[in-house]
Structure 1
Amino acid sequence: MTSQDAPAPKDLLSSLAAASLEYMVDAGQRSVLFLDVLRRRSDQYEEHIAQTAPHVLQYAAELIIDGRTLEEPVNYALVRIIPPDGVAIDRNRRPFIVVDPRAGHGPGIGGFKADSEIGFAMKAGHPCYFVGFLPDPMPGQTIERIAYAEAQFIERVISLHPEADGKPCVIGNCQAGWAIMILASLRPELFGPLIIAGAPLAYWAGVHGKNPMRYLGGILGGSWLTALTSDLGAGKFDGAWLVQNFENQNPSNTLWTKQYNVYSNVDTEAKRYLEFERWWGGHVNLNAEEIQFIVDELFIGNNLAGGKIVMSDGKKVDLRNIRSPIVVFCSEGDNVTPPQQALDWILDCYADVDEIRTYGQTIVYTVHQKIGHLGIFVSGGVARKEHAEFSSNIDLIDVLPPGLYEATFEPKGEDTTHSELVAGEWVMRCEARTLDDIRAMGVNSPEDYRSFAAAKRASELNLAAYQRFVQPWIKSMVTPQAADLMRTIHPLRLQYEAFSSRNPWMAAVQPIAEEAHNNRKPASKDNPLLSFQELISKQIVSILDGWRESQEALSEAIFLNVYGSPAVQAALGLDPTAEPPARREMSATDRAFLDKRIAELKSKIRDGGVREAAIRSLLYIGSARGMVDERSIEALRQVRRKYGGPQLTLPEFKSLVREQFFMLLLDEQAALDAIPSLLPDDIAAKRTALAMMREVLSAGAEITGERAIRLQRVTALFGLEGDSGHSAAVDGASDPNAGASSV
């Protein structure tokens, strides 16, 4: 640029003045509109909590069971979701039951918009039910009582759908996830597949330098503070403390980003912000007994995966008792329930994949790369991908052979093979994994285990001291009126009071905001002061994130140095050289049942007909690929319709698949050698069965390599290797690299 082209100083000053004036008008209007959003949020909060049964469900619902009317009353309820116009429900499909988390917030997050767990389950044709709760617990309500109430809810849903092809699929979000796992271990016969989203199950698990929430109990000296908070609430624990604990994990978002995003985009973000805040601010209470169980048995005690929780009737909670497929959905971006806490219970319960299979268990997990804890339940993108695929392919998950799998998702495109067999926008695969894949995400060392065991012991001692010397005094001084006052003045509630229309200063904001909205003059996108505003915002976020990281590093260092000290461990009565306890052995009862089942399966290897032979062959050939594709299951459905014959129900088909799988697992050679004895003499029937198998096997990918070799072996077992009517099958399988999908 020459000196003649450069703007004159006068022109530059004029441009800066115009940009400054434009920005000041925009910023002033945004400030007023943002204040009005805060006023609307506060008014919305007051309207919400004034309701008898506040929730954020978008869908109309019909009450099925009010838990307050049960013999042992709870503040939970079962409702049927009424499908909106245009959504067709198939009564023959298994029902879905979504159980929302009671972790400080009110119910409804599993269905507070169309792109949600409930929304996509209904879109897939499933009847949907929802388990929610009221703000205040019933007197004497405990976690155990809630579990047995939810068992009655599931029994009712089963009775309402006798024609359904399978037991209900139950989705447990966050806190509801571990609660459903407890119930499923006690009443396994009630459940179809379980989807556990963002639920902590291994509470001590994690890796150094990340997600230090697991250290919190030890840093605070244990659960005595939980007991104190409940006593100050006159026997009730204010859920607002749990919400504040969530907020403390990410101060940059809590103190700045969430509000700044609305301020900077006030014309477009207000509605989304208000929808979310309606749920986020709907605090609920827990009984002292409930929260004490959660903290002592789970978060500090870590007793769930270890099988150390015992119900009042003497039943032990053993996650290995669960017989339904378990889908675990977690995320690397979740700082509340990182993948280690969501998945390491598998390492606590099982020695290897063979032991998972021994218990007849199917576990499928998927790890999102970046979504945060709340995004697992509320993100529309997650709902349209993972939850939509789980809903569409729940039958695939239900009939998977026992083992450990990772669910992966590939976008469906024009080049996707047999895209017509894909239900949604993604191709879902379940790929076989081993426990080493879980360990690779990070596991605790023996030193870590001893540190957490020491924190647990310290908690027990501190709680006992509090209960003996302090608790009686606190209880005698706190009245119900004082407890209500303390809940009212909680900082999270005071912010709503400060910005509500009842505040005369805020009441004056509304007409000014309307004027600003009617005369809105946003600054142009290239205004330099907007860029400067963004730069300042990023600096604030960076400072708050740096402060958080330093506090997290400090808390980890304090925890590991204090509770990792051999002297402290010895003082607490622990052996500083002790190894983690050995994994639990299978009970004598389970071992006897397993031995009997093995003998029974071996005796039935030569029982059955062409159906058993075809399924056994499919499992043998398909296992070479190490994955199951949703297209294969859809192809199987289609060939069943195409070839006719008596149809198995889904439970019958699942039983058949499992029997044939275990026969191959127990004695592959004997199971294969028995195939000819299962087949009829009718050549046409054998050709039809083999054609069906090829159609299923080629649905997801061409039959090549080891699968082609195995297909050739099965073709010979069918007696069709040299059959002219099936020469194409033989030719395609004879070359490991030849495609075989043309038949």
Structure 2
Amino acid sequence: MAETSNIATQAFEYWTDAWQRSILFMDVLYRRGTERNARERETAPHVLNFEFETIIDGRTLERPVNYSLMRIIPPDGVEIDETKRPFIVVDPRAGHGPGIGGMKQDSEIGVVLKAGNPCYFIGFLPAPVPGQTIEDVCHAEAQFIEQVAYLHPHAEGKPALIGNCQAGWQIMMTAALHPELAGPLVLAGAPLSYWAGVRGKNPLRYLGGLAGGTWMTSLAGDLGNGKFDGAHLVSNFENMNPSNTYWKKGYHVYANVDTEEKRFLEFERWWGNPVLLNAEEIQFITDNLFVGNRLSNGTIHDSDGRRIDLRNIRSPIVVFCSWGDDITPPQQALGWLLDLYEDDAALVAGGQTVVYTLHESIGHLGIFVSASVANKEHEEFTRSMDLIDVLPPGLYEAVFIDKAGEGVHSPEFADGNYVVRFERRDLNELRALGGNDDEDERRFATVARLSEINQGLYRTFVSPLVRAMTTEQSAEWMRNMHPYRMRYEMFSDMNPFLKGISVLADQVREQRKPASPDNPFLKMQEAASDRIVAALDQYQLFRDQAVEQFFLSTYGQPLLQTLVGLRADSANIRRRIGRDIARESVVAARRTEAAKRLASGGEREAVIRSILYIARSPEMRVADERAFGVLRELRTHLPAKERVSLARFKEVVQEQNMILQLDEERAMTALPKLLTEVDDRQRALEGIRQIMTASGELSGEAARRMSRVAELFE
């Protein structure tokens, strides 16, 4: 009887708790929907957690766009050094509104301000300017970058850009068209090689094949009366993880409603307000990027006929990606390098510096909003941007070492909580990540060809009828009836049956009686939730396998490939980017000029050549934040007239690196000619030793090279 009574007590305790949680959860959904309705009525809704002032309204430009440049006003207590490099954070217009890069203090914007750098933000309005194109947006961003540089004439270095997701490939296009404007580019979760991936994963890349190409994008644009609803993009994102979308996300709030309300509502302010794009904009994206994969092979041209060639970019490129990101897996974030360069020598000869880091588990959105990521990767990249800017051309992986770890040498020369090392890698490291074989490439090329055919058929025979039947009223009605929006309106002040839920929720909070953690019925609830998640995960696995199998079997058919012209003798499975004779001529001229300067220069050139020579040893092949810290410390002791700007320092590094590539032995033999005074040689040698041993004593080939430098200086 006592046991039965105890079970009854626990059951009553659980059902009281469950009923109260249901009311509170309903109130959370009601507040979410009501806040979303209010934001829909705002002219420029955003989720920035920082004050700002508008510098340029893109609607006033000669080619108007719905983008704006804003200066972030530092919070109280934050000091900004105007001589430091300014940063521009660009948010993705990929369905959602702006602000994710600064929606809390521990964010991309937050770490930039914390480091004392001026910070700017490029945001956008919910609706596009009629007629604006992706090219117009790129030109607007170029004017924004130019304005920021103008506002900071004494800054050390050109403005650095942080592009999240869609904004990443957009700033790459801008930098390719205007390579003289931008400083380092940080691509956070940004796809650039859209066919790349591995079998059994990354199912989003098959989506174009399921629809037979991009004709459905055209249909959506026509039904939207010339506008594309960003809710479609968000829904595609959500459908990738059904267990999270349809159960885990809501259940987590329901099960922890006493503590999760604030976090949930904060995120939903950004998640629940999809924006619009012009039909022409989304068509450009799907045709040229998602299905056509034309960005990395240089087959996109602007209205003036200029090829958008990513090899034109002279700024260092930082790629931040994660194994836990299904939207932008590492292969799609880094595969463009394999499209552009045949080998590492071509990458170096092209003058391109690329730094990447691979997170083990963080998801796509976590790259932008995770506080742990902001306080580690984003913060360290921000603090190390000057070092990144002067790295010699090549491929590097960023490695983060905890300063508090045992045996860390000279931690005082590293900012932040980590020591950052940029270790040399080669393109084979990227090939080892996995990718498509030739037959897979042929399948994706088949989709691209078939997409063009279906697009032509739709534009010729269907589009005129759809456009004739569509009005702005019908388009607005379809947007309002989208299931994504309906779920917000059902639980909002638009629903008269929920008018009293807030009052009832307040009463529940006053009488709240949560069940004890060891309540058996609560454990049964958790077990039931786990089974639901497992079932939905199993459905996802089956669905993704079926989609992949359909894609592989359908687009692998020789008959279909023959009909679209991919079995002809002259057919190219993948259009690789062609040679650029003009660029090669410029590189050849630079190499010739560098060869002439092999025996000319002074202390600055001698020191940098020596450092690069030692760093070329197999044990080194690394740029260490501590060595750069020592170099900055030594710079402060030089007379003002002897100090050079970061831009000039970068030029010297590039030149001396090229001299060593041309003929390392002759370059080192000529080293004594750069310094004729004994005192200058001794001072330079001491500085080299301090810099090269900042991360620890040298050994092996690096020590031998250091000894040779000492002999040459003596």
Note if contact 1:185-1:319 (Cα within 8 Å) is conserved in structure 2: yes
Give 2:689's aligned residue: 694
Q: CA deviation at 1:530?
A: 2.0
Q: Which residue of 2 aligns with 1:471?
A: 463
Residue of 647, 654, 674 corresponding to 1:658:
654
Residues 450/590 of structure 1: CA separation in 2 closer, same or farther (3 Å cut): same
Shift of 1:581: 4.3
User: Equivalent residues in 2 for 1:123-272 (5 A)?
Assistant: 123-272=114-263
Mapped pair 1:621 → 2:614: yes
Distance (whole Å) between structure 2 residues aligned to residue 711 and residue 544 of structure 1: 60
**CA distance 1:414–1:174, change in 2 (3 Å):** closer
Task: Report if aligned partners of 2:67, 2:124 keep a CA contact under 8 Å in 1.
Answer: yes
C-alpha contact 1:92 1:163 (8 A) present in aligned 2: yes
What is the CA-CA distance between 1:353 and the residue it aligns to? 1.4
Q: Could you tell me which residue of structure 2 aligns to residue 595 of structure 1?
A: 588
Q: TM-score, normalised by structure 2?
A: 0.98
Q: 1:566·1:576 contact (CA, 8 Å) conserved in 2? A: no
Query: Is this contact kept in 1: 2:197–2:435, CA < 8 A?
Result: yes
Distance 2:265 2:24 in 1: 13
Tell me the equivalent position of 1:570. Answer: 562
Equivalent AA in structure 1 for residue 522 of structure 2: L
Question: Which AA in structure 1 matches 2:287?
Answer: D
Task: Determine the structure 1 residue equivalent to 2:522.
Answer: 530
CA distance in 1, matches of 2:663, 2:639: 31
Matches within 5 A, 1:329-728: 329-413=320-404, 415=406, 416-575=408-567, 580-581=573-574, 583-624=576-617, 625-644=620-639, 646-682=642-678, 684-719=679-714
Report if aligned partners of 2:566, 2:573 keep a CA contact under 8 Å in 1: no
The worse-fitting range, judged by mean Cα deviation, of 641-650 and 324-333 is 641-650
CA RMSD of aligned residues (A): 1.2
1:324-382 Cα deviation digits (max 9, x unpaired): 00001111111111111111000000011111111111001111111111111111111
- Give the C-alpha shift of residue 680 in structure 1: 2.4
The answer to whether the Cα contact below 8 Å between 1:607 and 1:678 also exists between their aligned partners in 2 is: yes
What is the CA distance between 1:579 and its match in structure 2? 6.0
Q: Of residues 269, 277, 280 in structure 1, which corresponds to 2:271? A: 280
Q: Structure 2: 5+ residue runs without aligned partners?
A: none
Letter in 2 for 1:220: A
Does the 8 A contact of 2:297 with 2:575 survive in 1?
no
For 2:626 and 2:524, the matched residues in 1 are separated by 51
Residue 729 of structure 1 corresponds to which residue in structure 2? none
| SS, match of residue 307 in structure 1 | coil
Letter in 1 for 2:661: L
Deviation at 1:576, TM superposition (A): 6.8
8 Å contact 1:563–1:569 — kept in the other structure?
yes
1:405-433: CA deviation from partner (whole Å, max 9, x where unpaired): 01111222153221212211122111100
CA distance in 2, matches of 1:211, 1:271: 32
Offset at 1:282? 1.2
Structure 2: distance between partners of 1:46 and 1:585: 51
CA distance 1:584–1:291, shift in 2 (3 Å):
closer
Whole-Å Cα distance in 1 between the matches of residues 33 and 82 of structure 2? 42
* Residue in structure 2 matched with residue 740 of structure 1 by the alignment: none
Whole-angstrom CA distance in 1 between matches of 2:532 and 2:575: 48
DSSP 3-state at the match of 2:627: helix
Cα separation, 2, equivalents of 1:295 and 1:390: 31
- CA, structure 1 residues 471+579, in 2 after alignment: closer, same or farther (shift >3 Å)? closer
Report deviation, 1:504.
Answer: 2.3
Distance 2:362 2:208 in 1: 25
Whole-Å separation in 1 of the counterparts to 2:206 and 2:439 = 14
- Percentage identity across paired residues of the two chains: 54
Q: Deviation at 1:635?
A: 1.2
1:451-471 alpha-carbon deviations (Å, 9 max, x no partner): 011111111111111111110
Whether the aligned pair in 1 keeps the contact of 2:196 and 2:435 (CA below 8 Å) is yes
Structure-1 separation of matches of 2:343 and 2:574:
17
CA deviation profile, 1:626-674 (whole Å, cap 9, x unmatched): 1111111111101111354611111011111111111111110011001
Give 3-state SS (helix, strand or coil) of 1:313's partner.
coil
Q: Note the C-alpha offset of 1:529.
A: 2.0
Question: Contact 2:612 / 2:657 at 8 angstroms: preserved in 1?
Answer: yes
Q: Deviations over 1:247-280 (max 9, x none)?
A: 0111111001111111111111110110100000
Please give the alpha-carbon distance, in whole angstroms, between the structure 1 residues aligned to 2:185 and 2:405.
33
Q: Closer, same or farther in 2 for the Cα pair 1:673/1:54, shift >3 Å? A: same
Q: Which is further off, 670-679 or 590-599?
A: 590-599
Higher Rg: 1
CA deviation after TM superposition for structure 1 residue 497, in Å: 1.2
CA distance in 1, matches of 2:419, 2:6: 54
SS of alignment partner, residue 190 of structure 1: coil
Cα distance in 2 for residues equivalent to 1:497 and 1:585: 52
Q: Secondary structure at the residue paired with 1:314?
A: coil
Deviation at 1:583, TM superposition (A): 4.0
2: distance between equivalents of 1:443 and 1:671?
40
Contact 1:446–1:579 (8 Å) recurs in 2: no
Give distance in 2, aligned partners of 1:21 and 1:644. 80
- Number of residue equivalences: 709
| Correspondence for 1:28 among 16, 19, 24 | 19
Structure 2 counterpart SS, 1:648: coil
Quote the offset at 1:699 in angstroms. Answer: 1.3
Q: Secondary structure at the match of 1:408?
A: strand
Partner Cα distance (2:405, 2:663) in 1: 42
SS at match of 1:189: coil
Amino acid corresponding to residue 524 of structure 1 in structure 2: S
Q: Report the secondary structure of 1:62's partner residue.
A: strand
- For residue 560 of structure 1, give the secondary structure of its aligned residue in structure 2: helix
Matched to 2:517, the amino acid is K
More displaced 10-residue stretch of structure 1: 582-591 or 543-552: 582-591
Q: TM-score, normalised by structure 1?
A: 0.94
Where 1:262 maps in the other structure, the secondary structure is helix
Q: Give, in whole Å, the separation in 1 of the partners of 2:263 and 2:577.
A: 48
Partner Cα separation in structure 2 for residue 233 and residue 581 of structure 1: 34
Mapped partners of 2:519, 2:182: distance in 1: 58
SS state at 1:715 partner: helix
> Which residue matches 1:90?
81
Instruction: Report SS of the residue matched to 1:102.
Output: coil
